[in-house]
A and B are shown apart, each in its own frame.
Chain A
Amino acid sequence: MLPKDDELNRRDFLSLMAASMALAGITGCKATPPEKIVPYVRPPEEVLPGVPLYFATAMPLSGYAMGLIVESREGRPIKAEGNPDHPASLGATDVFAQASLLTLYDPERAQTVTQTGQINTWDGFITDLRPKLERFRVNGEGLRILTESVTSPTFADLMKQVLAAYPGARWHQYEPVNRDNARAGARMTFGRYVDVQYRFEKADVIASLDSDFLTTEPGKLRYAREFARRRKTSPGGTTMNRLFVAESMPTITGAMADHRFPMRSSDVRSFLSGSILEALERSRGRGIVIAGESQPPEVHSLVHEMNQRLGNVGQTVFYSEPVEVNPVEQIQSLRELIEDMKGGRVETLISIGGNPVYNTPADLEFSTHADKVQLRVHHSLYYDETAALSHWHIPETYYLEGWGDARAYDGTASIIQPLINPLYQSKCSCELLSALLGDPTRSSYEIVQGYWKKQHAGADFDDFWTESVRKGVIPNSQVATLTTPALRATPPLQGRESVSSIELNFRPDPSIWDGRWANNAWLQELPKPLTKLVWDNAAILSPATATNLGVHNEDVIEIRNNGRSIECPALVLAGHADQAITIHLGYGHTRSGNIAKQKGFDAYSIRGADSPWTAAGVEVRKTGRRYPLVTTQQHFELEQRHQVQRATAAEFAKNPNFAHEAVHKPAPGETMYPPYANIDYAWGMTVDLSTCIGCNACVIACQAENNIPVVGKDQCANSREMHWLRIDTYMEGDARNPEVFFEPMLCQHCELAPCELVCPVEATSHSSEGINEMTYNRCVGTRYCSNNCPYKVRRFNFYEYAKWDVPQFRMLYNPDVTVRSRGVMEKCTYCVQRINRARITAKDEDRLIREGEVVTACQQVCPAEAIVFGNIADPNSAVSKLKAEPRNYAVLADLNTRPRTTYLAKLTNPNSE
């Protein structure tokens, strides 16, 4: 995906010169050679060229399903949207679901079966495996299967059969971002594993103990929506909830907090006290106490107790049977496996998914003990670190390529429906298990359908099946919620021993999670919330700690954690807990694709099995070297631009018009140009800063919808990133704990657009529906429009950023949007392709576009419903109503640009006393 910036050699240079001269010569003159038309031989039913089709499916992430509706153009899946019927999606998606389309077409995915790096075949693998397996049938000792967390019923069923077929075989599970602490906590409290579900819409007071529930919980999208619904308020409307967050590393959840308490992860346990307890007490049964995975079992146990004492259980907090088919404390499970490997008790290890060589805790030394295993088989998307250490590597079929199933956080099962045949020689995990059972040819379709036939025997199976596949959810398949399980005596919290030395946090990366997305350029270039860091991870620390250590941004520091050390550049972040450093997992790959390789620093290499999330007493040393970090935003101060209007709920109740007092808004008459006439429609948008959680989903949805290229670290370093929509982040106040504001910034579609009158060729113009149009093919690239844009939302193709040459990426492009070439300006178009499609449909049916018929990509993906788009000429449209609200204001209104995109001022709800 990256533009090649290496110098041209002379020969290329000359040929390119010739080419470009020729190009310059022929433009506007002789047409290009005739194109070909290749029609179908036998048309597939439903497919009508030019008309998109939509299919329901589900994306599993760490086992948990997110329901999707995927758009397919002539058989190519090009865009994922949330499935409104799916409990974990409700029509929204996260960054990963959006970016998964790029992974589908990633040319660097493993493409063939390999044996010790040599290209081989599935049959070759089977013939090699079968004799080895036969022995295990009699005495299974020595066959081990390592998977990640599993919720797939089909997979579980197959696994059961495998374990039955090979008596001594054992199934281990490990994933680096696991739920061990929550499990252990539940075990302590209830003597058994339970899952917890929350009803944020019912919660008036929420206390989060280092829990980033808007990013990391399997139910995050639903939680975000319910949480956001309780942040929306108009005078005399619903009461806002109040969020208390204690956290070490600033997260988007912390940024949404009404009261945020930066403290070291190990201090969080002592956070529930004083005013917070009172607040919780005052709203018994209407509160939520939630602990993050990074907190030790005792804290989870404490939280269970609190929720019970406060009567929240059954109101806002629900316990259910675990959704995972075989919940275990994974690090323990992994430890046992490695112990046996060490003891030579493992002859054959089949790792399905995951990347243990790379992401297991360093002190368990997986890779060193792996040598003792005679046959190592690895099944994964990429030829990764583990693949390189395995005898056989089987490419994994991506979820859009093969059949499967998975459960959501509440147990709702979905059939994973493929939209395209496997691009490469790959196999689904279920096909691999089926091969272990001696049936290597069985297709994923047969397997999955076969399983559900067993579950749903009867004449109506076909209806059941088609209906489930069509809707994307299997009716009432949630796991049973438990009536409050009996409390055991919770172990008293021992006040933590106060260590003065520095504490190191390991956290999943907001962009590439545990590293499984490391080869996805969209995610690598997605500015991480708050830091705005791209293409790297860093040792994030507070200003105070930085001064103590005498380090500045980009200073490479050596972090030593029980004997192991990494070197990593420092990044100072206001609001981070003092005496603590946070480093995100998932970087520093040595394999699995050029996007992933040599990016950032491998935190796993100092991660310990005993303290996977928070390591106390690490030593930090300055190396004196520097390493360039690239952030897409350098200034986080507001600088009296009044771009973010905000107030507390109380202030708002007193003075609803606060948002209009800061700046002078010129009167409608104050312009030399006649107003534009709007014909039928006047498109407009509002962004609610109270509900925007800054999750980045809109940024990447826009990228996917509009064929926005990736430019690479070097280009980002020179502020040339191409995102049409960015999340401006501002911080105000005490650097130890600043107030953080997220402000999605996209083309404001000004009615008096400064860009329009300076374009010499009218490449950017005003449509009769009020859209500020950008006509790429007319643009000559003077870049004046960008200079004159006060919002700086325009993006320029300084190089040939678009990847025309990679066939896979050509399949990914949205055919409704022009792929921009070198030297032209581009920017947000309000998804004009969607508007046009709706307009044409409406005209074909001789009617006007209905409210809600046009949904922009950013609006559709938003879990918080912060973005609303529609026709402001219609006073009854949702967007018109919002624009009528007192909170509605325009950014830089004093410039008289009259933006069509306006913002709803941010409200917070802090404790008044």
Chain B
Amino acid sequence: MMREELPEATYTPPLVGPGQTYSTITEKISSIVLSPHTPLEWFAVAGLAFTGVMMLFYSLAYLLVRGIGIWGVNIPIAWGFAIVNFVWWIGIGHAGTLISAILLLMHQAWRQSINRFAEAMTLFAVTCAGLYPLAHLGRPWFFYWLIPYPNTMDLWPQWRSPLVWDVFAISTYLTISFVFWYIGLIPDLATFRDRAQNRFVRLIYGILAMGWRGSARHWHHYETVFVLLAGLATPLVVSVHTVVSLDFTISILPGWHATIFPPYFVAGAIYSGFAMVLTLAIPLRKLYHLEDLITMRHIQNMAKLMLATGMIVAYSYVIEAFTAWYSGSNYEQFTFMNRLLGPYGWLYALLILTNLIVPQALWSARVRGKTLAILAVALSVNVGMWLERFIIVITSLHRDFLPSSWGMYYPTIWDISTFLGTIALFVMLFFIFIRLLPMISVFEMKQIIDKPEVRVE
């Protein structure tokens, strides 16, 4: 194993393993789904996730009955885990669209084998994220008041509030991502329809395939739509997290009210997004023996992208410190120092470690050569990015302007159960997806299989 991988790092590994043909690829990918046999690991993980989802439902139900008070939030820290997790999940939701849309427009062939499940990941992450803004409302049953519609009160939302912009940003993002993902699936669904043995299964895939015959005309329309959608999705990658960052920057709170936030948040989002893709890809290719399709080349490219975006994030941290000093504002400086040395200082230290220091390991080719090492870094970044959001939300709130109202925030059991619950939901959805749908785009793999630059004999 090690011996195989060591040399790999020294040259550009191929995008497709040696000896793969049209038929083998189709066979490999579709068999995962179409074979009646399900690996035990699948049941193990999905089962665990399912219990977690039940816990999530219980937590949310209890929240509805007793009220937001079951969480640790208070005055001054009126936003807690809910918003931290929301931003974290939205961030993770970015890699998918980036890979599928932007890399497509840039003709990055290596995206082909990872875009499918990256997009799926995006959908599920955004779903988890979307849960929080709803659940954290004091009166969730009135969430629809944020949506503009003619009502008997003759009232409209308050357009100056970024929370209203959020509603649009996120719903649009979810919709476009879904459509993009689904359209991408159609040819593969057709393939499955045709390969399926069981009549019922064939019927299902048939309906989903929308009568795809793979005719030249189909392909022509298809390509156009696909590129158009990619064009449509690309700005979203930037817009969504920009709007999310505005939720903070619009405020007057030191630590929130910063012009650097939009680019900083987008970079962070992509950073965490790739971290999550890696976290999923590396175990998966092991579990389903996809080393030939998701090759070291993919892993390394993503690792490099992660490093790049990570450096942007690092830069933002520095700038935050600089502006705090340069602003000359007592409040800004205090907030920054309080992050470093205040009661939550140890979390800030942990953030710097996991989010800035650990990823630097990726500079070394040897590290990039070891999947396990990369996985470790990815996990560390996942943690780090969550901590970043915690620091931003909590430390800015807990000591703001008047010392008389300073306070502390401690999560409750319900905060934690809800968070773990959404992780479980995410995992469960993802595993259902890999069991029922092609996690790698069959036809796109075929497109690249005989491109010279990917074949390295």
Direct contact between the two chains A and B in their complex (CB within 8 A): yes
Given contact pairs A638-B403, A781-B68, A796 touches B75 in the complex (Cβ within 8 A): yes
- Residues of A in contact with B (beta carbons under 8 Å apart): 8, 13, 16-17, 20-21, 23-24, 27-28, 633-641, 643, 715, 718-720, 726, 728-730, 743, 745, 754, 757-762, 778-784, 786-788, 790-792, 794-800, 822-825, 891-892, 895
* A796 and B163 form a contact (CB under 8 A): no
B76 at the interface (CB under 8 A from A): yes
* B406 and A634 form a contact (CB under 8 A): yes
In angstroms, Cα B66 to Cα A799, docked, is: 7
* A791 and B67 form a contact (CB under 8 A): no
* B73 and A783 form a contact (CB under 8 A): yes
Which chain B residues border A730 with CB–CB below 8 Å?
A: 403-404
Given contact pairs A754-B251, A757-B161, A719 touches B407 in the complex (Cβ within 8 A): yes
In angstroms, Cα B365 to Cα A441, docked, is: 101
B263 at the interface (CB under 8 A from A): no
Min C-beta distance of A534 to chain B, whole Å? 15
Min C-beta distance of A738 to chain B, whole Å? 14
Given contact pairs A16-B65, A640-B330, A719 touches B76 in the complex (Cβ within 8 A): yes
Min C-beta distance of B22 to chain A, whole Å? 52
Q: Can you add 15 more A-B contacts, CB < 8 Å, to A27-B142, A787-B253?
A: A17-B61, A635-B403, A636-B404, A639-B403, A641-B330, A641-B402, A730-B403, A779-B139, A781-B68, A786-B76, A787-B76, A787-B251, A796-B138, A797-B138, A822-B67
* A641 and B68 form a contact (CB under 8 A): no
Min C-beta distance of A687 to chain B, whole Å? 14
Given contact pairs A745-B404, A787-B78, A798 touches B251 in the complex (Cβ within 8 A): no
A contacts with B: majority SS: loop
B404 touches which of A633, A640, A762, A780 (Cβ 8 Å): A633
Given contact pairs A24-B141, A788-B251, A728 touches B402 in the complex (Cβ within 8 A): yes
* A726 and B404 form a contact (CB under 8 A): yes
B50 at the interface (CB under 8 A from A): no
List the B residue with the shortest CB-CB distance to A801.
B69
B217 at the interface (CB under 8 A from A): no
* B155 and A762 form a contact (CB under 8 A): yes
* A23 and B137 form a contact (CB under 8 A): no
* A783 and B79 form a contact (CB under 8 A): yes
B405 at the interface (CB under 8 A from A): yes
Which chain A residues border B404 with CB–CB below 8 Å?
A: 633, 635-636, 726, 728-730, 743, 745
B46 at the interface (CB under 8 A from A): no
Report B125-151 CB contacts with A as 1/0, cut-off 8 Å: 000000000001111111101100000
* B158 and A761 form a contact (CB under 8 A): yes
Shortest Cβ-Cβ A-B pairs, 8 listed: A781-B138, A823-B138, A798-B69, A792-B405, A783-B78, A728-B404, A24-B141, A760-B163
B62 at the interface (CB under 8 A from A): yes
* A758 and B64 form a contact (CB under 8 A): no
* A641 and B403 form a contact (CB under 8 A): yes
* A758 and B161 form a contact (CB under 8 A): yes
Min C-beta distance of B135 to chain A, whole Å? 11
B160 at the interface (CB under 8 A from A): yes
* B137 and A792 form a contact (CB under 8 A): no
List the B residue with the shortest CB-CB distance to A720.
B74
In angstroms, Cα B334 to Cα A833, docked, is: 40
B252 at the interface (CB under 8 A from A): yes
Given contact pairs A780-B146, A800-B67, A786 touches B406 in the complex (Cβ within 8 A): no
List the A residue with the shortest CB-CB distance to B410.
A718
Min C-beta distance of A200 to chain B, whole Å? 29
Given contact pairs A24-B141, A823-B68, A790 touches B401 in the complex (Cβ within 8 A): yes
Q: Please indicate which of the listed interface residues A20, A728, A792, A794 has the most CB atoms of chain B within 10 Å of its own CB.
A: A792
Q: Please indicate which of the listed interface residues A21, A787, A788, A892 has the most CB atoms of chain B within 10 Å of its own CB.
A: A787
List the A residue with the shortest CB-CB distance to B407.
A719
Given contact pairs A718-B72, A783-B79, A823-B68, A788 touches B406 in the complex (Cβ within 8 A): no
* B252 and A754 form a contact (CB under 8 A): yes
Min C-beta distance of B77 to chain A, whole Å? 8
User: Can you offer 6 A-B residue contacts whose CB atoms are under 8 A?
Assistant: A635-B404, A760-B157, A782-B136, A792-B76, A792-B401, A798-B73
* B161 and A784 form a contact (CB under 8 A): yes
Which chain B residues border A824 with CB–CB below 8 Å?
A: 138-139
B203 at the interface (CB under 8 A from A): no
